[in-house]
Structure 1
Amino acid sequence: MPAPSAITRDKDDVALRLLKGAAKKSYEPVVDIDWEAPLADDKFFLPPQMSSLYGTDLWEQMSPQQRIDLSRHELANYLSMGIWFENMLNQSLLRGMIYSSPTSNSTFYELTELGDEARHMLMFGKAIRRIGVEPFWPKGRHARLVNAMPFLFRGPMLWIAALVGEEIFDALQRRILEDGENVQPLVHRLMRIHVTEEARHIQFARDGIRRDVGRLPSRTRWTLSNLHGLGAALYLKNFTRRGLYQRVGLDGAEAQRQARANKHFHGMLTFGFASLAQFLEEARLMGPVARRMWKRNHFL
């Protein structure tokens, strides 16, 4: 086991490298996105193949405009979830900093990431407003759960939560970038900015896991290896919320049923989780309970 001083040096070296990357390539969404540019009437807000209903009987019955409207609300749903998560991540990072040196490179990088995430929340909020729909915002018990999560995200659990929250969205965003012709230019630009900056965040979280996992007690490691499976049910539930379909005039219950049974949609979920699943396997953090939960919810 490396000495604490060696671990600290390694952490600071990684942080310094990422700080240099942030200095070379960061964005200011307020000025780096043309928020006044008109939206194209015939372009989707997500590639149609990414819709939860793509290929279902309901999809075949929908008009072209209804499909575009569904993609508009599904994008707003993704962005709303992104705001929730980045809010939780920032709270957790800030709480953890009270135990860190304010002069270390790792603290400097975490502060840089906080700034990135704050700009991302602003960018997502402006995008939702620009496309002309209401955000999907947590209420009641759901809101209390979102507010409680930052208290659970500590140490290695924070890094795993960061990857569960970031890597699945990152893979889906890269899929959006592959379909430049059918997607609104505003969405394409937004995804390009987020993918570029999120790559640093993912690298920092992966490094944190690699660094910490070997020093964990076996019981703690078992818990971490299985607790992240809860993310699978949360993702599926929020990706296929009934209100999403009701907004475009569909029967919410029937649309939800078809989406959750949609093999094409299951393929998109598996695609989104593939890179993270491989990393968790390599880090020996894919426990049997988590594996069953990801598989039951169609991510494996």
Structure 2
Amino acid sequence: MRPPNTPPARAAATATADDTEFRTLLDRLSDKATEDYYNPFTTFDWPATIPTDELWMSPELLSFHGTELMDELSPARLQALSRWESVNFYSLNVHGIRELLIEVTRRVHTPGFELPSEFFHHFIGEENDHMWFFATFCLKYAGKIYPDKSVKLPGAPRDPDIENFLVFARILIFEQVVDHYNVRMAADRRLHPTVRHLNHLHHQDESRHIAFGCRLVHLLWNRLLERDPDDVALRELRDYLGRYLTTSIESFYNPAVYRDAGLPDGFALRRRLLTHPARQAAHAKVLHKTTGFLNRIGVFDARH
């Protein structure tokens, strides 16, 4: 029961502040962030160039992987595709981080987010560092950052509790998708040491952000359910998240990448690849942790 004369937002904040498990997690993650702190401006020893006759992304992560089109690529074309798909990947990180920084900064030290605000400061600082080193890689070795071509999804609910939940659900989806790539590239000895180092550092920080995000999204979901939202609102929320999952995956299929790699008719290639059974299976693998988590806490059910 809410204390007398306590506004709803403050009541939610009080309930969150009493969550001992969340507080313990935040303290542990903050301590780990302090322990793992590095200065990105001195950590990287940027080489003058990264050879273009080497892989810049693991072949198993390329948008062609598993298709007959992959088998048709010459070694030089495969290297070019890996180079430009890596630049697209880091460009997506730059744009995605910019968006999440805006959303998290809007909520730091605001009603309902008193408890996580201390960790938000670690989060904001680390994500700013990530955006810098991803942008530096793109500009230094490719001379450009691919522009943000993401589609702004219509129909996002404006209810504050639903909006808060969707913001952090989107951030978690983004981070888990990116981390799938980071983990594999950090461990791939076929890649240049700078590429591996970049992905390793990002995974190191993102592992904390994902642990935080899973707990916060679960708490926000439970807070939302306490209001007993109607079926229409929940259906709209699920439809919105489903569309976000789809557009997140589709952003890895960039016609400009195919053009830069010397492949003709990039839009037709994109359409063909997106519907290829092997790529559909790859998408499910990339999203496995995210969809499993959302199913587990009840946002989706087994049919999603």
TM-score range, shorter chain: 0.7 to 0.9
The residue aligned with 2:96 is 85
1:82/1:121 contact within 8 Å kept? yes
Q: Cα distance, 1:214 vs. partner?
A: 2.1
> What is the Cα-based RMSD across aligned positions, in Å?
2.9
- Once residues 282 and 80 of structure 1 are traced to their aligned partners in structure 2, the CA distance between those partners, rounded to angstroms, is 31
TM-score normalised by structure 2 residue count: 0.82
Gaps of 5+ in 2: 3-10
Could you tell me which amino acid in structure 2 is paired with residue 189 of structure 1? H
The C-alpha deviation readout for 1:154-212, integer Å capped at 9, x for no partner, is 42122211111111111122122332x21121111011000010111111111112222
Tell me: CA distance 1:258–1:95, structure 2 relative to 1, closer, same or farther (3 Å).
same
Pair 1:241 & 2:254 matched: yes
Tell me: CA distance 1:267–1:184, structure 2 relative to 1, closer, same or farther (3 Å).
farther
The residue aligned with 1:94 is 105
Pair 1:282 & 2:299 matched: no
1:164/1:228 contact within 8 Å kept? no
Give 2:176's match in structure 1, choosing from 150, 167, 184: 167
The residue aligned with 2:132 is 122
In the TM superposition, 1:1-300 aligns within 5 A as: 5-10=14-19, 11-36=22-47, 38-97=49-108, 99-100=110-111, 106-138=116-148, 145=152, 154-179=163-188, 181-216=189-224, 217-219=228-230, 220-251=233-264, 252-286=266-300, 291=304
Tell me: CA distance 1:98–1:132, structure 2 relative to 1, closer, same or farther (3 Å).
same
- Total equivalences in the alignment: 283
- Once residues 288 and 268 of structure 1 are traced to their aligned partners in structure 2, the CA distance between those partners, rounded to angstroms, is 19
Gaps of 5+ in 1: 292-300
Q: Cα distance, 1:263 vs. partner?
A: 3.4
**Greater mean alpha carbon deviation, residues 151-160 or residues 192-201:** 151-160
Could you tell me which amino acid in structure 2 is paired with residue 225 of structure 1? R
The C-alpha deviation readout for 1:243-298, integer Å capped at 9, x for no partner, is 21111221113422342233333333222111111111110011589x2xxxxxxx
- Once residues 76 and 30 of structure 1 are traced to their aligned partners in structure 2, the CA distance between those partners, rounded to angstroms, is 20
Tell me: CA distance 1:285–1:239, structure 2 relative to 1, closer, same or farther (3 Å).
same
2:187/2:196 contact within 8 Å kept? no
TM-score normalised by structure 1 residue count: 0.83
**Which stretches of structure 1, 4 residues or longer, exceed 6 Å deviation after superposition?**
none
Tell me: CA distance 1:101–1:161, structure 2 relative to 1, closer, same or farther (3 Å).
closer
1:171/1:271 contact within 8 Å kept? no
For residue 210 of structure 2, give the secondary structure of its aligned residue in structure 1: helix
Could you tell me which amino acid in structure 1 is paired with residue 169 of structure 2? I
1:70/1:248 contact within 8 Å kept? yes
Q: Cα distance, 1:58 vs. partner?
A: 3.4
Larger radius of gyration: 2
